[in-house]
Amino acid sequence: MKALTNEILQLLNKHQEAAFEVVFKLYYPRLVYFAKEFVPDGEAKNLVQDAFISMWDKKPQFINESQLQSYLYTNVKNNCLMFLRHEKVKKKYKSEAAFQKQNQIYTEALKGLDTSTVTFQEIESIIEKTLSKLPDRCREVFILSRMEGKKNKEVAEALDISLKTVEAQITKALKVLRVSLKDYLPIVAWLLINMN
């Protein structure tokens, strides 16, 4: 995946709109899909847009990309939490058990997530190491899927294997990652970037 150059980061710090646009286009998709795991689709986009607007207004200065990642993910996480709190109150009269349970679990998940800079920096190497130890096929599937963003069907076609196999390999990779990152979950957030 593409990463930010130092130059872009510096221009962003200088509040240059063109740099802001580059950062937006790079991070918007992943942040939206992150948020979609916890809030409805339409809201996810709004919340992420708000995070960017807030970033522009507040003009934080970033030393490196990890700081920026941390800033954005923290912002989006907090917006999701605010939304979930708002939802909980709004729908209280309905008190549909499943809905409330989901709200509770998602809130707990987000609250337990530490999106600070340090963790962003440390986890990167752990993930890299973990993936290198996976069986070839498993790693292949996972990288095609997560890194290149191919849909499961596309991965199946590219590697000439069944869809179920693709899903199984992704599941396997996730299980291994979950173990190697156990010290950081749920107290940590990380993302796979700069894997090339």
Partner 1 sequence: MIIARAVKKKCIFYKGKRRGRHFNNNNRKMDSEKLLHKITDKKALKDSDELINYINESGENSREYIRYKTLWALLQTGNEMDEETINKGYSAVKRGLKGRRNSILLKIAKYAAIIILAVSAGYLVQYADFNNEIAINEIFVPKGNRTSVVLPDGSKVWLSNGTRLVYPENFVGDFREVQLEGEGFFDVTHDEKHPFIVNVGKHRVKVLGTKFAVVAYPEDEEVKAELVSGKIQFDVNYGNTEDDYNSFMVKPMHSLVYDKTSGKIYESIIPDGFHDYWQKGIYRFSNESFDSLATKIARFYNVEIVFGNDELKTRTFTGTLSVDDNIYTIMEVFKSASGQPFKYYFDTGKIYIDK
Q: How far apart are CA 12 and CA 139, in angstroms?
A: 35
Q: Of 106-135, which residues contact partner 1 (CB under 8 A)?
A: 106, 108-109, 112-113
Query: Rounded to the nearest whole angstrom, what is the least distance from the CB of residue 188 to partner 1 in the complex?
Result: 8
Query: Rounded to the nearest whole angstrom, what is the least distance from the CB of residue 15 to partner 1 in the complex?
Result: 6
Q: Which structure tokens are listed for 174?
A: 């996730």
Told to check if 65 binds partner 1 by CB under 8 A, we report: no
Q: Give 7 or 182: the residue with its C-beta nearer to partner 1.
A: 182
Told to check if 62 binds partner 1 by CB under 8 A, we report: no
Instruction: Lay out the site mask for partner 1 across 27-46 (x = CB under 8 A, - = otherwise).
Output: -xxxxxxx-xxx----x-xx
Of the candidate spans 3-11, 60-68, 95-103, the one that interacts with partner 1 by CB under 8 A turns out to be 95-103
Query: Rounded to the nearest whole angstrom, what is the least distance from the CB of residue 134 to partner 1 in the complex?
Result: 13
Of the candidate spans 5-13, 60-68, 145-153, the one that interacts with partner 1 by CB under 8 A turns out to be 145-153
The sign one gets for the Cα dihedral 180, 35, 33, 47 is negative
Told to check if 81 binds partner 1 by CB under 8 A, we report: no
Is the CB of residue 27 less than 8 Å from the CB of residue 49?
Answer: no
Query: Rounded to the nearest whole angstrom, what is the least distance from the CB of residue 63 to partner 1 in the complex?
Result: 20
Residue closest to 20 by CA, chosen among 72, 93, 89: 72
Could you list the residues that contact partner 1 (CB under 8 A)?
Answer: 1, 15, 21, 24-25, 28-34, 36-38, 43, 45-50, 52-53, 56-59, 79, 82-83, 86, 96, 98-99, 101-102, 105-106, 108-109, 112-113, 146-151, 162-165, 167-168, 170-172, 174-175, 177-178, 181, 185-186, 189-192
